[in-house]
Amino acid sequence: MDFTIRAVRPEEHEEVGELTARAYLDDGHLTFGEDDDYLPVMRDVARRAAEAEVLVAVGDDGTLLGAVTFTAGGGEWADIAGPDEAEFRLLAVARAARGRGVGEALVRACVDRARALDGCVRLVLSTQDGMTTAHRIYRRLGFVRIPERDWTPVPDLSPLWAFSLDV
């Protein structure tokens, strides 16, 4: 690997927020584009880092390549995780870094963190049905669909798909 996974640093918050926003916007994953209410949440990495764990993939040259937010169940950033679960969200990889294993490495780091949590039995996530590249990563790592936990955060939009991995 020509990159490292580590915790985000405060001086990287703005750049990670923009990397995340661009990944979702440029791939058409925000229904309302630049006017989407979720965009400010994505860009507020300082809040995410204070309330959860934000991991980044950093190239050997210092370039930020990707990011993900990890939290234990019951945490502020857990949408579907129960008390004995962990969850990750906002997985994003810069367009220029795609195809290098960055997304998979970030997911593996979340799996490792979930396995290290006392009492954690599973890692869960929510994803849009059109995020097929991410779905391939999840399935390759052993995640399975749990449709009974699909949910709709915004009325009248497609439900988010739930995936789970026993840890």
Tell me: the pLDDT tens digits for 28-64? Answer: 999 888 998 999 999 999 999 999 999 999 999 999 9
- Written as one string, the DSSP assignment of 99-125 is TSSHHHHHHHHHHHHHHHSTT--EEEE
**CATH class name, domain 3-166:** alpha beta
HSE, side-chain direction, 13 A CA sphere, residue 38 = 14
| pLDDT tens per residue, range 77-98 | 999 999 999 999 999 999 999 9
Residue 115 is predicted with a pLDDT of: 98
SS3 88: strand
| Mean of all residue pLDDT scores within the chain | 96
Residue 32 is predicted with a pLDDT of: 82
Residue 70 is predicted with a pLDDT of: 98
Residue 162 is predicted with a pLDDT of: 98
User: What gap in Å lies between CA 103 and CA 94, rounded to an integer?
Assistant: 10
Res. 1: pLDDT tops 80: no
Closest CA to 99 of 128, 65, 68, 58: 65
Task: Tell me the whole-structure pTM to 2 decimals.
Answer: 0.96
pLDDT bucket at 157, cuts 50 / 70 / 90: confident
